[in-house]
C-alpha cells in the first residue's frame, strides 16, 4: 500500500454511487466524471468495492471537456492500492486519488503564452533534476495523467510502466516512450534520461541495483571528467520490467560527439569483453563514415543478450546517408530504398546501426523529427497517428490545482513545467522484410525564468 498522497484517506470516502460514471481504466489510471467531488485521496466505502471485476471492459464515457469554472466534471483516478502482479481486474483496491484532468482547462493566459516546448528555447533554464526527491518515473507518470491513454498506451502498457516506476529509485529529467505504430502492436518501452544529482552521476545511481556495475564505472569516469558525457539514457523493455535483476540498455552521448576513442572508453567501462570482440568492426565502421557525418550516441544492450554496439549517425544531408549505405552494403543497398525515399526530405538525417563482432548488422533504423507524421497515416494505425498529433503540450505547476511533488516544484523565480513533445520517429528496415514504425513521445521537466515571461508580456502589450 502506498502512503497517502494528499490527505488522510479516512477524511474522504467513495461509495458505489460515486463510481457510476467511471470511464476506461488504463492499468493504474482511469478517467472519471466527478463534478461533485473535490480532488484528494479517497478511501473506498466497502470491501465489495475493492473487489471490482474486469474494469477494462467498461466502455469509454469521457469524450470532451465540458467543465464550468471551479468544477471538475472529469478527473484522473490514480489507484494507490496493492496492484502488483495484476492487469485485469485491477486488484485489491483500497484507496484511490482523484486529481483534475490535466491539460484540459479552458484557454487562459498561461496556456496561450506557453503552447509547446519550443517556446522555452533560448530562455534561462535551470539544469533539470537537481536532486532526486520527487523526480523519479513514478511522479512523471502521475503528472502525465490521461495523456497515457489508448491507443498508444494500452492498459497493460501503463501497468508495466507503473510497475517499473515502483522498482526504480533514480532521478530523471526526461522520459521517452517507445510506441509501436502498428494497430496490432501495443507494446510500449521507455527510455529515461538520467539526471545528475549535485553534478554527479554516481550520486544519481546511489539507489540503483548493485548489479549495474558497468554503469557505475561509467558514472565514476564521468564524474572524474575522464569522459565528457552529455547525456546518459537507460532503456527498459516492457517484457523485462518484472525480471530480476533488472538490466537496462544504456545509451550514451559525449561532447562534442561520440568519437572513436570515446566509443572505446564507454564500451570498455560498460562491457570490456564486448569491446574486445567488436573493436575491429567498430574501427572499420568509423573508417567508412562519409565526410561530415558524426556519431551522436552509442548504445549497449546487456539485458537483451544482444552482443552488439549500436551507433547513431548524423549526416550533413540525405545524399551522405545514401552514400554510407552503399559503402556498408554494396550488394544490397537498393533494398533500403523504401525507407530512404520516405525520409529523404527530413530536416534531420540520422541512421542507427548495430555493430557485431562479424561486422555491421543489416537491420537499419532511420530517425526523423515529427514532421513525418502526416505521411504515416496510411502506413500506420491512423488512431495512433492522431493521438501523436495531439500529444505536444505544456503543463505548468502554476495552472495545476493539485500540489506537485517536492522535487518538481518551482523554485523562486524559476517556475516548473512538464513538457510533452515528439522526440523523434523511427523507420526500421531489414532486407527481405517490410518497414516498421515507432514514435517517441517524450515527457520532460524543466524550470524556466518567470522574468522572461514577464518581459514577453510587456512586449506583447506594447505591440498591442
pLDDT tens digit string along 47-104?
Answer: 444 444 333 322 222 222 223 222 233 333 333 332 222 222 333 445 555 544 333 3
- Using CA atoms, how far residue 72 sits from 101, 102, 124, 141, in Å, is 8, 11, 34, 21
Kind and range of the H or E element at 446?
Answer: strand 436-449
Residue 303 binned pLDDT confidence (cut-offs 50, 70, 90): low
Q: Rounded to 5 degrees, what angle do the CA atoms 422, 22, 79 make?
A: 70
Does the pLDDT at position 339 exceed 90?
A: yes
- Distance separating alpha carbons of residues 263 and 311, to the nearest angstrom: 9
* Nine cell digits for residue 294: 558524426
pLDDT higher than threshold 90 for residue 284: yes
Cis peptide before 328 (omega within 30 of 0): no
Note the pLDDT tens digit of each residue in 135-167: 789 889 888 877 888 899 988 888 889 889 888
C-alpha–C-alpha distance, residues 409 and 139, integer Å: 12
Instruction: Look up residue 273 and give its three cell numbers.
Output: 569483453
Query: Rounded to whole angstroms, how far apart are CA atoms 114 and 110?
Result: 6
pLDDT digits (tens, 9 = 90+) for 63-76: 222 232 222 333 33
Look at residue 355 and give its three-state secondary structure. strand
| Residue 166, CB-side half-sphere exposure with 13 Å CA sphere | 17
Which residues, including other chains, have CB under 8 Å from residue 150's CB and lie 6 or more apart? 24, 26
Ramachandran angles phi, psi of 36, nearest 5°: -105, 10
Q: Does residue 82 or residue 170 have the better pLDDT?
A: 170
Q: Of all helices (H) and strands (E), which one includes residue 327?
A: helix 318-328
User: pTM value?
Assistant: 0.72
Q: Is the dihedral of CA 44, 31, 392, 388 positive or negative?
A: positive
* 396 touches 113 (CB < 8 A): no
What does the pLDDT read at residue 401?
77
Average pLDDT over residues 407-424: 86
Mean predicted lDDT score pLDDT of the chain: 75
Residue bearing cell 506557453: 114
How buried is 121 (Cβ within 10 angstroms: 0-12 exposed, 13-18 middle, 19+ buried)?
A: exposed
406 vs 304: CA distance, rounded Å: 35
Average pLDDT in the 371-381 region?
A: 86
3-state secondary structure of 232: strand
Higher pLDDT, 396 or 35: 396
The three three-digit cell numbers of residue 18, written as one number: 460515486
Q: What is the pLDDT of residue 459?
A: 59
Cell 562479424 belongs to: 358
Residue corresponding to grid cell 552521476: 201
Q: Beta-strand (E) ranges in 287-384?
A: 294-301, 306-315, 349-356, 359-360, 364-368
pLDDT band at 243 (very low <50, low <70, confident <90, very high): confident
For residue 391, pLDDT beyond 50: yes
In whole angstroms, what is the distance from residue 180 CA to residue 379 CA? Answer: 12
Q: Grid coordinates standing for 236?
A: 527498459
Per-residue cell: 12: 474522504
Cis peptide before 89 (omega within 30 of 0): yes
Cell of 422: 515528439
Task: Name the residue with higher pLDDT: 372 or 201.
Answer: 201
Q: Over range 373-382, report the average pLDDT.
A: 88
Candidate from 104-113, 231-240, 332-341 with smallest mean pLDDT:
104-113
User: How many angstroms separate the CA atoms of 148 and 27, rounded?
Assistant: 10
Amino acid at each position: 500500500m502506498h502512503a497517502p498522497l494528499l490527505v488522510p484517506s479516512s477524511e474522504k470516502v467513495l461509495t458505489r454511487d460515486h463510481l457510476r460514471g467511471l470511464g476506461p481504466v488504463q492499468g493504474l489510471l482511469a478517467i472519471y466524471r466527478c463534478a461533485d467531488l473535490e480532488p484528494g485521496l479517497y478511501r473506498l466505502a466497502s470491501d465489495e468495492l475493492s473487489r471490482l471485476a474486469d474494469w477494462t471492459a467498461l466502455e469509454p464515457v469521457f469524450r470532451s471537456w465540458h467543465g464550468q469554472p471551479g468544477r471538475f466534471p472529469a478527473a484522473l483516478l490514480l489507484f494507490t492500492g496493492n496492484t502488483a502482479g495484476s492487469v485485469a481486474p485491477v486488484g485489491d483496491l483500497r484507496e484511490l486519488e482523484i486529481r483534475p484532468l490535466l491539460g484540459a482547462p479552458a484557454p487562459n493566459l498561461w496556456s496561450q503564452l506557453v503552447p509547446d516546448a519550443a517556446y522555452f528555447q533560448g530562455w534561462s533554464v535551470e539544469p533539470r533534476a537537481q536532486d532526486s526527491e520527487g523526480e523519479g518515473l513514478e511522479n512523471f507518470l502521475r503528472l502525465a495523467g490521461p495523456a497515457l491513454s489508448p491507443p498508444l498506451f494500452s492498459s497493460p502498457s501503463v501497468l508495466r510502466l507503473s510497475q517499473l516506476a515502483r522498482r526504480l529509485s533514480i532521478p530523471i529529467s526526461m522520459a521517452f516512450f517507445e510506441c509501436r505504430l502498428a494497430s496490432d502492436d501495443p507494446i510500449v518501452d521507455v527510455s529515461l534520461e538520467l539526471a545528475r544529482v549535485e553534478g554527479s552521476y554516481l550520486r544519481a545511481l546511489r539507489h540503483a541495483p548493485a548489479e549495474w556495475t558497468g554503469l557505475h564505472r561509467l558514472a565514476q569516469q564521468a564524474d572524474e571528467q575522464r569522459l565528457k558525457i552529455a547525456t546518459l539514457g537507460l532503456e527498459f523493455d516492457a517484457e523485462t520490467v518484472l525480471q530480476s535483476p533488472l538490466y537496462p540498455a544504456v545509451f550514451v552521448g559525449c561532447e562534442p560527439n561520440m568519437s572513436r576513442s570515446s566509443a572505446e572508453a564507454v564500451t570498455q567501462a560498460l562491457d570490456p569483453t564486448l569491446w574486445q570482440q567488436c573493436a575491429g568492426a567498430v574501427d572499420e565502421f568509423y573508417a567508412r563514415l562519409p565526410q561530415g557525418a558524426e556519431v551522436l550516441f552509442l548504445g549497449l544492450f546487456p539485458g537483451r543478450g544482444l552482443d552488439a554496439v549500436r551507433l547513431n549517425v548524423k549526416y550533413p544531408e540525405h545524399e551522405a546517408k545514401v552514400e554510407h549505405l552503399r559503402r556498408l552494403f554494396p550488394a544490397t543497398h537498393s533494398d533500403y530504398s523504401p525507407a530512404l525515399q520516405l525520409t529523404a526530405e527530413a530536416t534531420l538525417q540520422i541512421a542507427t546501426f548495430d555493430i557485431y563482432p562479424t561486422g555491421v548488422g543489416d537491420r537499419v533504423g532511420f530517425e526523423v523529427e515529427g514532421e513525418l507524421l502526416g505521411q504515416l497515416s496510411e502506413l500506420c494505425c491512423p488512431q495512433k497517428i492522431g493521438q501523436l498529433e495531439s500529444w505536444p503540450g505544456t503543463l505548468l505547476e502554476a495552472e495545476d490545482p493539485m500540489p506537485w511533488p517536492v522535487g518538481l516544484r518551482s523554485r523562486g523565480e524559476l517556475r516548473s513545467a512538464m513538457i510533452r513533445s515528439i522526440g523523434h520517429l523511427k523507420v526500421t528496415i531489414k532486407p527481405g522484410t517490410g518497414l516498421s514504425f515507432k514514435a517517441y513521445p517524450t515527457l520532460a521537466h524543466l524550470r524556466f525564468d518567470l522574468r522572461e515571461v514577464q518581459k514577453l508580456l510587456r512586449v506583447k502589450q506594447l505591440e498591442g
